[in-house]
Structure 1
Amino acid sequence: MKNIMGCRLCLWLLGSLSWFWGMGRGARETVLGTLGKATILQIPEELQNLTLRFGEAVWKRDTEDPQRKLVLLKYSDGNHTNYMEGRTRFHQLDFSLEILNTSRWDGQLYEYIVSKGPEEKVWQIQLEVYEPVSDPSIHILSWALANNSCTITLNCTAERGDNISYSWGSQDTNTLGFCSHNGSLLHLSYPLENTSISCSCTVSNAVSSWVVPFNSSECSYEQGGSSRLRTELVVVVVVVVSIITVLVLIGVITATRSATCTAHQQHSHSPLAEDNVVHTIYSQVQRVEKQKGVPITEHPSCTTIYAAATGLPPDTALTHSRTPQPLTEPPSTKSHSPLLQSPDKEPTTVYASVMMPMA
């Protein structure tokens, strides 16, 4: 009995010490702030009345240095000075402090201190900043048919958010037993007699929450959305297209080279004697001055003689000409004729000037 009374006395002393310690440090509450949104730090009604009575208060905040505090705002007899203008707003109606755009840097311990003569009343607020969760999505990792049942593995994920928690459930009481699970992965197994299974994934943290549903009407590629099958099909199509492209390029290159070689061989092996190109030689006959006592029987004007050349020497070409050529070409013109330079060159047009012989 004495031991029981002694224990109760110890507990009472510990509780009293804790109460005095809490009053010395100030009462504390925790406020959750959302990253990128406004957060309001409020004080209880008791401190609002003390502020109106004594008219002196201040907002402070801890810093990374435990021996240094940052003064945010001072209130005195209806007037206030905001040292964080543009980042905070003071509401004089209830003496609350609003953080306009909450950042991770704002997650600190805040204090509201009311001066009542020689004493101070302190209210402490611990601000915890969270990034809200983003819109989640459900992915099918695998599915299988076995023993007249369908087994699907689902993965529920959110790309952004702090301290995210995942849970699975269903609003349908008939399928609640299949869908109940904590965690992002759900191994769903149900008999094929069930025509439809509806599950939902809840993604949440301290400041936000999302719910995304999943419906499976049958165990098939269409409903399962098998990404593995789609990936394999894309790979096959890419490989086939690549092979066809390479074969077409090889065929084009081979055909081009073959045509080039054939044309080169025909040009290099073609004999000069088989050249059927006919060229025209223009020969101009000039008129000779008239001599006294000598009658001129030919036509007095200049005459142009056309001779056809087939690549043969000029003497041969003149022999095969239909029109007799009684005129002889001066030796000086034969030496400059391109027909006599090389038998390998193609015949060209030769312009020769000849003089009519004297009668």
Structure 2
Amino acid sequence: MGSGAWLRLLLTLGALWGIGAREKVLGILGEATFLRIPRELRERTEECGEASWKKTIEEPLKKKFLLKISGGNYTEFEPERMRFHKEDFSLEILNTSRDDRRLYEYSVSKGPEEEVWQIQLEVFEPVSDPTIRILRRESSNGSCSLELRCSSERGDEVSYSWASRDNGTGTGGICAGSGGVLNLSYALRSAAFGCVCTASNPVSRRHAAFHSQQCGAEQWDVPKVRTELLVPLVALGVIVIIIIIIIVVIITFRATRSAKCDPDPSQVTPASATIYAQVQRVQKPKGTVPNATPLSCTTIYATATGPPAAPDGAPRSPAGSPTPRGCSPLSQEPTTVYASVTLPVA
């Protein structure tokens, strides 16, 4: 029995059961999906010239026309989302979304008869590259036990399986398993081996490998940094270092400037308390000093007070010594005088 006979049988059974022949098409999320019809229906369309593409909106009560063919001409009702290929009467969904997961029908009319081909579209997101992490690690008595987890961040209806990467290592089926978690137990003295995790769904398949060395490498516990994130992290680190350097320079500059502007209080003596004076004695005529001593400089430390008080108790200024303008007369409080006296020359 040829394919045409099988198609007619399916269409006949579908007419008896109230439905047309149905096939299942798998679409990938975000990619184009083609809905095609059998060769017999293409030939029937060329003979009859009346056909249409429809999709079910509310199964089974409501349907919407996507395309109508009449007398060699066609009309598209969703040209921004669908594209009709007249060479084989197929319909292309340009950007498949989850909302496109519906039942589609292609029907050919000839008089009172209608032949229907139904397509059930299923949409899946492909799986991303899986990663393997160590959940548990134990070593004792020369053996190692590991619990590995394989996971993929994206994907619909993802399933996981495990297998050995190298069959010649003598580990046999140690890596064989199904599911996202794999438990391993092996002797530390055995040769290194590799396990491969496969993440798959109906539209895609991805792999990840694990290499065992001395009960597992530590780097598998830490998620890998993505390459696209490495450059921004380095740039951020450089910016933070530059900001810290600028702050340190500003603080150091202000501290140095403050130290130069503020003198040490211990080195400042109040002007009202200390008098620095250099006194030079008047040189007497020669011969008046029998025993002249060599020229020397002697420092005298004395405590000076103001002039003696007047009889009425008020302070009295020395004769012939008027008080300078802007200066108050000397008080009777003790004042330290540092004087340097130069002795006369013999």
What TM-score bracket applies, with the shorter chain setting the length? Answer: 0.5 to 0.7
1:218 shift after superposition: 2.1
Cα offsets for 1:33-88 (capped at 9, x unmatched)? 00000000011111111100000110000114743211111111221111111211
What does 1:295-310 align with in structure 2 at a 5 Å threshold?
none
What are the ranges of 5 or more consecutive residues in structure 2 without an aligned counterpart? 1-9, 223-261, 279-301, 309-317, 335-346
SS at 1:49's partner residue?
helix
The alpha-carbon distance between structure 1 residues 21 and 148, as it changes in their structure 2 partners (threshold 3 A), is farther
1:108 shift after superposition: 0.5
2:187 matched residue in structure 1: 191
Cα offsets for 1:232-288 (capped at 9, x unmatched)? xxxxxxxxxxxxxxxxxxxxxxxxxxxxxxx9xx87xx99799546499xxxxxxxx
The alpha-carbon distance between structure 1 residues 33 and 226, as it changes in their structure 2 partners (threshold 3 A), is closer
The alpha-carbon distance between structure 1 residues 227 and 212, as it changes in their structure 2 partners (threshold 3 A), is closer
Cα offsets for 1:111-159 (capped at 9, x unmatched)? 0011111111101000000010011111112211123211111111100
1:210 matched residue in structure 2: 206
| C-alpha distance in 2 between matches for 1:40 and 1:117 | 29
What does 1:82-121 align with in structure 2 at a 5 Å threshold?
82-121=76-115
1:133 matched residue in structure 2: 127
The alpha-carbon distance between structure 1 residues 199 and 226, as it changes in their structure 2 partners (threshold 3 A), is closer
2:18 matched residue in structure 1: 24
The alpha-carbon distance between structure 1 residues 311 and 123, as it changes in their structure 2 partners (threshold 3 A), is farther
1:352 matched residue in structure 2: none
For normalisation by structure 1, the TM-score amounts to 0.61
Matched AA of 2:25: V
Q: Is the 8 A contact 1:275 1:311 kept in 2?
A: no
What does 1:323-342 align with in structure 2 at a 5 Å threshold?
327-329=320-322, 337-338=327-328
1:311 shift after superposition: 11
| Number of equivalenced pairs | 253
The alpha-carbon distance between structure 1 residues 341 and 33, as it changes in their structure 2 partners (threshold 3 A), is farther
Q: Is the 8 A contact 1:136 1:210 kept in 2?
A: yes
What does 1:1-359 align with in structure 2 at a 5 Å threshold?
19=13, 24-64=18-58, 66-173=60-167, 174-219=170-215, 223-225=217-219, 227=221, 275-276=273-274, 278=276, 315=307, 327-329=320-322, 337-338=327-328
For normalisation by structure 2, the TM-score amounts to 0.63
Q: Is the 8 A contact 2:133 2:221 kept in 1?
A: no
What are the ranges of 5 or more consecutive residues in structure 1 without an aligned counterpart? 1-15, 229-262, 281-309, 317-324, 345-359
Matched AA of 1:211: H
1:19 shift after superposition: 3.3
| C-alpha distance in 2 between matches for 1:313 and 1:211 | 102
Q: Percent of counterpart pairs with the same letter?
A: 46
Q: Is the 8 A contact 1:272 1:311 kept in 2?
A: no
SS at 2:174's partner residue?
helix
| C-alpha distance in 2 between matches for 1:175 and 1:277 | 100
| C-alpha distance in 2 between matches for 1:225 and 1:312 | 85
The structure richer in helix per residue is 1
Q: Is the 8 A contact 2:107 2:115 kept in 1?
A: yes
The alpha-carbon distance between structure 1 residues 77 and 144, as it changes in their structure 2 partners (threshold 3 A), is same
The alpha-carbon distance between structure 1 residues 276 and 83, as it changes in their structure 2 partners (threshold 3 A), is same
1:191 shift after superposition: 1.4
